[in-house]
């Protein structure tokens, strides 16, 4: 027997499925069943699979099971499969082909594969004329949609197989540490989004290395909390998601325990690769001895290949500080930047605008920068608890830095250097001074296995050459310490030593010998609920040269599973300055940048090389 099945190009039907053919097949099948009961179980049927233009695709013998009784709606049931190159594959409990309408209807445990897409659903309909597959969820089962690196669930999906674009309703999914929930998600290839003017050529190029797709999400929310009712969420009417790179939420609103508490004034950017820092979601509250209580915030505005970062701090005694920082990428690894900061210099008691601008090249951990600045506020830490602030001009400065290179297991080094002309002002104006700087840094954490404490060290050697060799300064810094833990008690000790040979004609980089000892004690204890954690920490810095306590730092953290409130106090014993800060942190991205007004606290225990790289 022969028949013709009009089916779309590149379609594979797999497993058991009902195939609705030409009407005369049923008559022949019924006759065969009547005259030959032995053939009631199975017959051989010769068919031709054609494209819609009549071009043959495949000819051969296929084995069919015949239904036990006659039917006006059901045709033979396929027990085999036919496969075409680059096919859309449909697998389901039943697959019905309605030839007149050009529809393939799949029901029960539907799996659709092809064109870098995988879809599972209770029911799906494929329109062979339009090349669109539509799937529907049920009360018991959601749709699961995967397109290359996207994995989403939802109530329904309409997907253009050829264009590789579709829309998923009531969508939800997870990317890196971020859960995306609610609203409608539209996915399409980067190239198509660029052609439609939805993203720029630069955005396409920046994302292409990590993903082929972009997602436009409407009326959705984002959170890093894995609870069904998250402790916090960021809700946005419009978001653009570049998989494995970043999500940009427009006009975001912060909800805690389903109550809106803050309208974010900027575009909120969520990193999806953990290589970027997350922006603060809430303003920080700060206090210092100079201005009393204040509040500060920070956030970005983004556009085609560029970004404007805005920071502001208001002190209730009447002072305010601000920072505008803009950068624009002009090629893959090159960006121009400019900023202007209105900052207070405690030592000169002046609040000034401090502009800087330049160009930067960054690639594979290497960075090269050409910079100009005026009245840049530079803070030099002379010893623990002792700081000096200077207004510095760089006109210009050329600098470079390398990535960290491994020279032995758990041991790394890197190089950096600069050349420029500099000027600093204290009580009078100084002439510009030429300076060349070379710097070698080393960091390591020797492997001690399961020993109860873990040592670490860092060292740097800086060579300064002023005015073509007329004057030099050499500074060697060494930090050695160890960390250990006893139950919930964590302890860390660090010894810092600096040797200086020579003297700088400038004030801002004039260093002196220092010898300090730091001790930190941290204790963790549980809260009222199993996912609540508290942490209290105290750190002392002791000046061994002056035989005096230089600083004390206190911190208390309240961890609510996915977010942390952090209160910290810095007490500089040398100048009597006390500063206090209260910050809100997202646990998945703990390295969020400080805002204006936050106390600047040095950390002698900080890992210079990420822990993930130490054992590689």
Model confidence over 407-432: pLDDT tens digits? 999 999 999 999 999 998 754 556 78
In a domain? residue 209: no
Tell me which residue range forms the domain holding 7.
1-136
Task: Say whether pLDDT at 127 is over 70.
Answer: yes
Among residues 106, 136, 166, the one where a domain terminates is 136
Which has the minimum average pLDDT: 91-95, 221-225, 276-280, 284-288? 276-280
Task: Provide the terminal-to-terminal Cα distance of the chain, rounded to the nearest Å.
Answer: 65
pLDDT, position 117: 84
% of the chain at pLDDT higher than 90: 46
* 3-class secondary-structure state, position 31: helix
Give the DSSP H/E element, type plus range, for residue 563. strand 563-572
Give the DSSP H/E element, type plus range, for residue 426. none
What confidence tier does 70 reach under pLDDT thresholds 50, 70, 90? very low
What confidence tier does 351 reach under pLDDT thresholds 50, 70, 90? very high
Quick: pLDDT tens for 138-149: 988 999 998 776
Of 148, 145, 206, 138, the residue nearest 180 (C-alpha): 145
In a domain? residue 601: yes
Q: DSSP assignment, residue 191?
A: H
CB neighbour list of residue 263: distance below 8 Å, 6 or more residues apart: 251, 253, 254
Quick: pLDDT tens for 165-199: 889 999 998 888 889 898 899 988 888 888 888 88
Long-range contacts at 108-112 (CB < 8 A, ≥ 24 apart): 110/135, 112/88
The CATH number covering residue 302 comes to 2.40.160
CB neighbour list of residue 582: distance below 8 Å, 6 or more residues apart: 284, 285, 286, 565, 566, 567
In a domain? residue 178: no
More confident residue, 529 or 72: 529
Q: What is the pTM of this model?
A: 0.75
What confidence tier does 30 reach under pLDDT thresholds 50, 70, 90? very low
User: What gap in Å lies between CA 600 and CA 291, rounded to an integer?
Assistant: 16
Which has the minimum average pLDDT: 269-283, 532-546, 557-571? 269-283
Q: DSSP assignment, residue 201?
A: H
Kind of pairing between the strands at 213-223 and 172-175: unpaired
What confidence tier does 454 reach under pLDDT thresholds 50, 70, 90? very high
Among residues 113, 136, 159, the one where a domain terminates is 136
Task: Say whether pLDDT at 492 is over 80.
Answer: yes
Task: Say whether pLDDT at 456 is over 90.
Answer: yes
In a domain? residue 529: yes
What confidence tier does 596 reach under pLDDT thresholds 50, 70, 90? low
Of 33, 24, 28, the residue nearest 4 (C-alpha): 24
**φ, ψ of residue 192 in degrees (nearest 5):** -65, -40
Structural domain count of the chain: 2
In a domain? residue 80: yes
What confidence tier does 75 reach under pLDDT thresholds 50, 70, 90? very low
In a domain? residue 391: yes
Among residues 89, 113, 136, the one where a domain terminates is 136
In a domain? residue 94: yes
């Amino acid at each position: 027997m022969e028949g013709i099945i009009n089916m779309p190009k590149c379609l594979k039907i797999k497993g058991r499925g009902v195939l609705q053919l030409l009407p005369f097949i049923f008559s022949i099948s019924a006759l065969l069943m009547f005259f030959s009961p032995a053939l009631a179980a199975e017959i051989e049927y010769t068919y031709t699979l054609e494209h819609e233009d009549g071009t043959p695709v495949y000819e051969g013998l296929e084995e069919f099971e015949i239904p036990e009784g006659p039917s006006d709606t059901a045709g033979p049931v396929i027990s085999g499969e036919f496969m075409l190159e680059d096919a859309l594959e449909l697998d389901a409990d039943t697959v019905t082909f309605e030839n007149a309408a050009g529809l393939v209807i799949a029901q029960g445990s539907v799996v659709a594969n092809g064109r870098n897409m995988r879809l599972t659903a209770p029911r799906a309909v494929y329109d062979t004329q339009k090349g669109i597959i539509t799937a529907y969820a049920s009360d018991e089962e959601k749709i699961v949609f995967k397109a290359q690196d996207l994995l989403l669930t939802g109530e329904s999906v309409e997907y253009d197989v050829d264009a590789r674009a579709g829309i998923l309703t009531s969508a939800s999914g997870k990317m890196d540490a971020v859960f995306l929930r609610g609203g409608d998600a539209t996915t399409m290839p980067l190239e198509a989004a660029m052609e439609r003017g939805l993203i720029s050529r630069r955005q396409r190029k920046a994302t292409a290395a990590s993903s082929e797709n972009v997602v436009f999400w409407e009326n959705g929310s984002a959170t890093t909390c894995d609870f069904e009712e998250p402790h916090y969420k960021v809700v946005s009417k419009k978001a653009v998601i570049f998989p494995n790179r970043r999500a940009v939420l427009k006009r975001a609103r912060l909800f805690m325990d389903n109550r809106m508490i803050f309208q974010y004034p900027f575009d909120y950017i969520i990193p999806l690769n953990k290589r970027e820092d997350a922006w603060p979601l809430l303003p920080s509250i700060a206090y210092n001895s100079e201005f009393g209580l204040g509040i500060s915030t920070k956030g970005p505005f983004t556009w085609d290949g560029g970004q404007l970062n805005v920071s502001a701090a208001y002190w209730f005694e009447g002072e305010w500080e601000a920072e505008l920082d803009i950068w624009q990428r002009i090629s893959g690894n090159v960006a121009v930047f400019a900023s202007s900061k209105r900052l207070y210099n405690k030592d000169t008691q002046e609040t000034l605008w401090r502009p800087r601008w330049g160009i930067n090249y960054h690639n594979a951990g290497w960075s090269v920068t050409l910079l100009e600045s005026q009245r840049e506020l530079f803070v030099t830490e002379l010893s623990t608890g002792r700081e000096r602030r200077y207004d510095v001009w760089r006109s210009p400065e050329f600098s470079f830095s390398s990535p960290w290179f491994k020279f032995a297991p758990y041991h790394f080094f890197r190089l950096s250097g600069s050349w420029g002309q500099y000027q600093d002002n204290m009580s009078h104006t100084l002439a510009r001074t030429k300076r060349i700087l070379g710097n070698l840094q080393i960091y390591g954490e020797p492997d001690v296995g399961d020993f109860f404490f873990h040592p670490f060290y860092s060292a740097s050697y800086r060579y300064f050459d002023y005015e073509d060799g007329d004057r030099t300064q050499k500074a060697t810094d060494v930090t050695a310490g160890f960390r250990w833990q006893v139950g919930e008690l964590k302890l860390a000790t660090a010894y810092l030593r600096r040797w200086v040979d020579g003297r700088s004609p400038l004030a801002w980089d004039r260093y002196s010998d220092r010898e300090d000892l730091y001790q930190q004690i941290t204790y963790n204890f549980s809260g009222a609920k199993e996912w609540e954690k508290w942490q209290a920490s105290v750190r002392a810095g002791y000046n061994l040269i002056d035989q005096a306590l230089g600083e004390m730092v206190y911190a208390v953290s309240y961890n609510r599973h996915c977010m942390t409130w952090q209160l910290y106090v810095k007490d500089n014993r040398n100048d009597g300055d006390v500063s206090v800060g209260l910050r809100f942190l997202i646990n998945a991205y703990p390295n969020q940048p400080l805002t204006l007004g936050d106390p600047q606290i040095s950390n002698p225990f900080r890992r210079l090389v990420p822990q993930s790289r130490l054992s590689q």
